[in-house]
Amino acid sequence: MKVKELSIPIIIPKLQTLLPRIDATHPKIPFMQADLAKLLKGYRGEKAVNYYLDFLPEKENFIIHSLRLPSGNYFFQIDFLILTNRYALILECKNFFGTLYFDEDFNQMIRTANDKEEGFQDPISQAKWHQQQLRSFLKLHNITLPIEFFVVISDPSTIVKTNPRNREAMKKVVHGHSLLEKISEVDSRYQNEMLDSKEVRKLSKLLLKSHTPEDIDVLAKYGLGVVDILTGVRCPGCGRIPMIRQKRTWNCCGCEVKEKNAHVSAVMEYFHLFGASITNKQFREFVHLESDTIAKKMLQAMNLPFSGSNKGRIYYDPMKR
């Protein structure tokens, strides 16, 4: 059972919102594009892994995607957590291409691709770290449950190599297509029921409640300020910014697209860029609208959650409430 479904990491739509709204010559653009490409690749990998998880028996497995839990003053994020009444299984998804070499002597992973060698933090020790943190989380809530983990390589063409002495890597690093087989191996190894079905459900609820989604300020991340952002409504047809409002519709100066409600997505974009709230004035500035009354009517028509009255009115992102 999917307790928390696969969903796109919020940073992806945020970057997709940000990129078209900064000057094409901005020096940060290549970094953002590279980050976006990496994130999309990662998400595709998780999708691929998610596909296999659909084949697990519905009733016995509670699957949680992208779980971010507190650990002291910090957080740790697990790509997939599979919860059963006998054990918990962490899946650490990796989307590397090329040839991967797991070096247990230095806790390092070396990737060779396009005649280039690159070192990365060893995903096994990363997964172990998550295992340890989850262990203390469970301990904190007086729950005893063994925790297993796999490092899942989603790209089937990625070659995994290791020293034959490195039995751990051979056991723990798996390709997506052999994941189910590996899971059933683990499953048969754990026979003792640690929790009854009610307790498993309770634990999954506890985990979901403790899940704290990361709220990334994309502007801060790339050292951008309000001045770097191109404001205005974006044309849903050609992407051109800004659209001009005349005769009760938003008109694009590039293509001939007319869209009455183009400001709605602009508000969502505003939330992505500047945080989850907007005022009448911020809205007017962002969509290039003079009239506060029209702005008021538009914002009211969107039925956004709000706080305050009169001058103190603040509208909120419905996704965050």
Select 108 or 249, whichever has its Cβ closest to DNA. 249
* Minimum CB distance to DNA, residue 304 (Å): 10
* Minimum CB distance to DNA, residue 308 (Å): 6
Kindly tell me which residue out of 74, 309, 319, 321 binds DNA, with binding defined by CB under 7 A.
309
Q: Which of 17, 11, 97, 25 minimizes the C-alpha distance to 286? A: 17
Residues with Cβ < 8 Å from 8, sequence gap 6 or more? 43
Q: Which stretch binds DNA (CB under 7 A): 82-90, 113-121, 148-156, 308-316?
A: 308-316
* Minimum CB distance to DNA, residue 293 (Å): 4
Select 178 or 279, whichever has its Cβ closest to DNA. 279
- Token pair, residue 262, equals 């183009």
How would you list the strands of the sheet with 258-259, edge to edge?
244-246, 249-251, 258-259
Instruction: Give φ, ψ of 53 to 5 degrees.
Output: -65, -20
Bridge partners for 68 per DSSP: 77
Residues with Cβ < 8 Å from 321, sequence gap 6 or more? 305
Binding of DNA by 147 (CB under 7 A): no
Kindly tell me which residue out of 72, 164, 223, 312 binds DNA, with binding defined by CB under 7 A.
312
Q: Which of 150, 153, 124, 2 minimizes the C-alpha distance to 67? A: 2
Q: Where would I find the H helices in 141-217?
A: 167-172, 179-189, 197-210
| One character per residue 42-71, x = contact with DNA (rule: CB under 7 A) | ------------------------------
Taken in order 151, 157, 158, 160, is the CA torsion positive or negative? positive
Binding of DNA by 296 (CB under 7 A): yes
Q: Are strands 147-153 and 173-175 parallel, antiparallel or unpaired?
A: parallel
Binding of DNA by 124 (CB under 7 A): no
Select 151 or 295, whichever has its Cβ closest to DNA. 295
* Minimum CB distance to DNA, residue 295 (Å): 6
- Token pair, residue 234, equals 């974006």
Kindly tell me which residue out of 291, 305, 318, 320 binds DNA, with binding defined by CB under 7 A.
291
* Minimum CB distance to DNA, residue 135 (Å): 45
Q: Is the peptide bond prior to 242 cis by the omega test (within 30 degrees of 0)?
A: yes
Select 272 or 284, whichever has its Cβ closest to DNA. 284
- Token pair, residue 15, equals 């970057």
Q: Which stretch binds DNA (CB under 7 A): 151-159, 221-229, 232-240, 287-295?
A: 287-295
| One character per residue 245-274, x = contact with DNA (rule: CB under 7 A) | x-xxx----------x--------------
Residues near DNA (CB under 7 A): 245, 247-249, 260, 279-281, 291-301, 308-313
